[in-house]
Amino acid sequence: EKGGYDYFMLKEIAEQPKAVADTLLGRIDAAGTLSLDEVRIPGPVLREVDKVVIVACGTAYHAGLIAKYAIEHWTRIPCETELASEFRYRDPILGRRTLVIAISQSGETMDTLMALRHAREQGAKVLAICNTNGSTIPRESDAVLYTHAGPEVAVASTKAFLTQLVACYLVALYLGQVRGTKWGDEVRSVVRELSDIATQVDEVLETMEPVRELARSLADKGTVLFLGRHVGYPVALEGALKLKELAYMHAEGFAAGELKHGPIALIEEDLPVVVVVPSPRGRSVLHDKIVSNIQEIRARGARTIVIAERGDEAVRPYADHLIEIPATPVLLQPLVATVPLQVFACELATARGNEVDQPRNLAKSVTVE
Ligand code: M6R
């Protein structure tokens, strides 16, 4: 049932192009516009929404952090993303005009379920993004957009994450479409870009041997840091989470701009630091800033592992290891940038002799608070 792979995780990483394509399937009509019939929250209600709150845990929370950038950029509705486990305990401000999005692969995560129950009690509408048909979270929500990743068996989430991102982008576009902040042409062009992602993920998967080799060479390290900016920041958090749960290594993700506010003190000779570089196109200011961050940490001895868009020559001189990914629109980069980090963590776990599909102390779905 592992389809010839040693681990479910490897199989699930390989299934990502299909999972991404399947999650788009049937949601785009012949004219290239979005038809999300499943989102049964009526147009007038969606047009009234004045705040979006995303609640989720772990990897799904990282998808939610990325969704915030897309939702605010495309719809201009304020959006916050919150750890589901913290949500109801701080008496959040919710009302009839709040749209809460609960993201969960399993649909059974108790923290997320309790957060959405609290939101509904306060009168908010809840949209679930979920991978498991008929599970509790979608049953208790006002509407659901299912991700079509297929069953995810490995405890470490991979293909579910990519499809959660796709679903979040679709919801963001849909909200923009319904509210008129995104016009047909713009929606169609993003949808086209999303449709190209499956092939691009495939391309990334075909070039992963150097990443595996690098991972093996780091098997005896104690710490790995991850840096990113903008949507690359949650990608850095996700890279660090994968490494913690699979390799049992100390791994931390930082927003690169925060380096000078503390974390740079951690940099020492030969410390591996993975840096997710934003596209040099579009937001080039951020790109240039992160290039200086790479220079700064390298000058202090860090071993720089740089994930950058193919053809980004500016980073090359400062990258001890360069992992190239295809060029994507700025907001969609996490869909390709996360994949090498999954492969990296999986290979490190294997090199350290850890159980890849069933890391110690963890369960696939966390049904207690
Ligand atoms: O089933 P859910 O998406 O609600 O699960 C949320 C987290 O427990 C989950 O993403 C967890 O962090 C994974 N093990 C990460 O790989």
Do residues 132 and 105 make contact, with C-beta atoms less than 8 angstroms apart?
yes
Q: Nearest 10 degrees: CA dihedral of 172, 105, 62, 51?
A: 40
Distances (CA, A) of 334 to 63, 66, 79, 92, 339: 9, 8, 19, 29, 9
Q: Is 105 in the pocket of ligand 1 (CB under 6 A)?
A: yes
Do residues 364 and 106 make contact, with C-beta atoms less than 8 angstroms apart?
yes
**pLDDT given at position 283:** 59
Q: Is 129 in the pocket of ligand 1 (CB under 6 A)?
A: no
| AA letter at 15 | E
Do residues 137 and 130 make contact, with C-beta atoms less than 8 angstroms apart?
yes
Q: Whose alpha carbon is nearest atom 14 of ligand 1?
A: 156
Ranges of the chain whose pLDDT falls below 50: none
Helix (H), strand (E), coil (C) string for 234-289:
HHHHHHHHHHHHHHCCEEEEEEHHHHHHCHHHHCCCCCEEEEECCCCCCCHHHHHH
**For 28, which DSSP code?**
B
Q: Whose alpha carbon is nearest atom 9 of ligand 1?
A: 58
Cα 145 to chain centroid distance, Å, stands at: 17
| AA letter at 250 | H
| Phi and psi angles of residue 46, each rounded to the nearest 5 degrees, phi first | -65, -35
pTM of this prediction?
Answer: 0.97
Q: In which element (H, E) is residue 18 found?
A: helix 16-24
Q: Is 131 in the pocket of ligand 1 (CB under 6 A)?
A: no
Which strands form 303-309's sheet, in the order they lie side by side? 250-255, 223-228, 272-276, 303-309, 321-325
Q: Is 366 in the pocket of ligand 1 (CB under 6 A)?
A: yes
Ligand 1 pocket check: which of 81, 109, 110, 113 to mutate, most ligand atoms within 8 Å of Cβ?
Answer: 109
Q: In which element (H, E) is residue 86 found?
A: helix 84-87
Q: Is 164 in the pocket of ligand 1 (CB under 6 A)?
A: no
**pLDDT given at position 182:** 75
Q: Nearest 10 degrees: CA dihedral of 101, 106, 108, 109?
A: -70
CA–centroid distance, residue 282 to ligand 1 (Å): 32
Q: Is 163 in the pocket of ligand 1 (CB under 6 A)?
A: no
Q: Is 342 in the pocket of ligand 1 (CB under 6 A)?
A: no
Q: Whose alpha carbon is nearest atom 10 of ligand 1?
A: 59
Q: Is 157 in the pocket of ligand 1 (CB under 6 A)?
A: yes
How far apart CA 128 and CA 18 sit, in angstroms, is 22
| Ligand 1 atom closest to Cα of residue 156 | 16
Which strands form 143-146's sheet, in the order they lie side by side? 79-83, 51-56, 98-104, 125-130, 143-146
Q: Is 273 in the pocket of ligand 1 (CB under 6 A)?
A: no
At 263, list the tokens: 């974390």
DSSP-based three-state secondary structure for 304: strand
